[in-house]
């Protein structure tokens, strides 16, 4: 059981980090961040299981969920604004916003 | 029972992989919702039903709706530019932490966790971790401002006008 959860955590972190490095679409970047954070959240809960202190782990996981959602909202808002200004979702276009 | 856990784990990793690699943003959003559902199931199995419910409603519900809303505004786009980092180098960089972890595991160096007794969840949230609550309130206000930015076309229009000048 523990090994399965560890594999899930490492897999999610690896997939998220890899996608974060190679993706060029702003919306896909937010998706990669979401996957990465899910791995981190599972890791926090798993650490709580290991030390038999689930209450603190759950409290921290709750904060992570809130922060993750806000990151998604801000990221999507930025993606929309960048797309409307530059007519592309390519992350390279962000550098052209400079006056 | 282990078979079911393994099945959930495989499905979780597959859906996460599809969410990041599938063509089409709408498909990616749906695969991300599936990833959230499976993460919630895993959380439930780990003994956190409350957090699992919140993850299910927020991760699979709210975030997916926001994604679909954003995609409907800006549409899908195929990007042809070069990678910032070559995929092979990115794969190597994503793998290095696991190689280090495997080395630590094989060497027998594992972190020592300190077991501190905790109260029930409600007391932990409302009394012991009050700063977290203030932080969450601040984040929610930031999120509301973010939603306003999401639906405000005026920002882009003003920026465009300034650039044209």
Asked if A64 and A44 count as a contact pair (C-beta separation under 8 A), the reply is yes
Residue B41: per-residue pLDDT? 92
The answer to whether residue A42 scores a pLDDT higher than 80 is yes
Query: Given CB atoms, is B44 within the 8 Å cutoff of chain A?
Result: no
A51/B114 touch (CB, cutoff 8 Å), yes or no: yes
Q: Which residue of B has its CA nearest to A27?
A: B25
At B138-162, the pLDDT tens digits run 888 888 887 777 667 666 666 667 7
* Ranges in chain B, pLDDT < 50: none
* Long-range interactions of B75-79: CB distance < 8 A, separation 24+: B76/B24, B76/B25, B76/B26, B77/A25, B77/A88, B77/A89, B77/A90, B79/A24, B79/A25, B79/A88, B79/A89, B79/A90
Query: Given CB atoms, is A5 within the 8 Å cutoff of chain B?
Result: yes
C-alpha pair distances (Å), A36 with each of A7, A10, A33, B3, B16: 14, 10, 5, 25, 9
The answer to whether residue A66 scores a pLDDT higher than 80 is yes
The answer to whether residue A74 scores a pLDDT higher than 80 is yes
B146/A42 touch (CB, cutoff 8 Å), yes or no: no
Q: Which residue of A has its CA nearest to B56?
A: A65
Please report the ipTM that was assigned to this predicted complex.
0.91
- Average pLDDT value over all residues in chain A: 86
Query: Given CB atoms, is B22 within the 8 Å cutoff of chain A?
Result: no
* CATH number for region A2-97: 1.10.287.3510
At B28-42, the pLDDT tens digits run 999 999 999 999 999
Lowest mean pLDDT among A26-30, A72-76, A89-93: A89-93
The answer to whether residue A75 scores a pLDDT higher than 70 is yes
């Amino acid at each position: 059981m523990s090994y399965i959860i560890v594999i899930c955590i490492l897999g999610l972190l690896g997939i998220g980090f890899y996608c974060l490095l190679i993706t060029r679409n702003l919306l896909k970047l937010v998706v990669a961040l979401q996957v990465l954070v899910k791995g981190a959240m599972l890791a926090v809960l798993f650490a709580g299981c290991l030390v038999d202190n689930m209450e603190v782990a759950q409290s921290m996981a709750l904060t992570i969920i809130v922060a993750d959602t806000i990151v998604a909202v801000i990221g999507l808002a930025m993606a929309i604004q960048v797309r409307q200004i530059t007519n592309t979702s390519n992350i390279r276009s962000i550098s052209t916003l400079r006056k | 029972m282990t078979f079911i856990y393994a099945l959930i784990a495989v499905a979780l990793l597959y859906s996460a992989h599809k969410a990041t690699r599938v063509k089409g943003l709408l498909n990616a959003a749906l695969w991300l919702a599936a990833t959230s559902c499976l993460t919630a199931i895993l959380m439930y199995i780990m003994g956190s039903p409350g957090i699992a419910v919140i993850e299910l409603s927020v991760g699979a519900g709210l975030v997916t709706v926001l994604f679909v809303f954003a995609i409907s505004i800006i549409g899908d786009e195929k990007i042809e530019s070069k990678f910032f980092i070559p995929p092979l180098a990115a794969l190597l960089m994503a793998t290095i932490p696991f190689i280090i972890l495997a080395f630590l595991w094989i060497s027998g160096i594992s972190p020592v966790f300190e077991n501190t007794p905790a109260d029930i969840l409600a007391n932990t949230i409302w009394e012991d971790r009050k700063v977290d609550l203030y932080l969450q309130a601040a984040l929610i206000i930031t999120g509301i401002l973010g939603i306003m930015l999401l639906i405000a076309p005026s920002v882009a229009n003003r920026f465009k006008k300034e650039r044209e000048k």
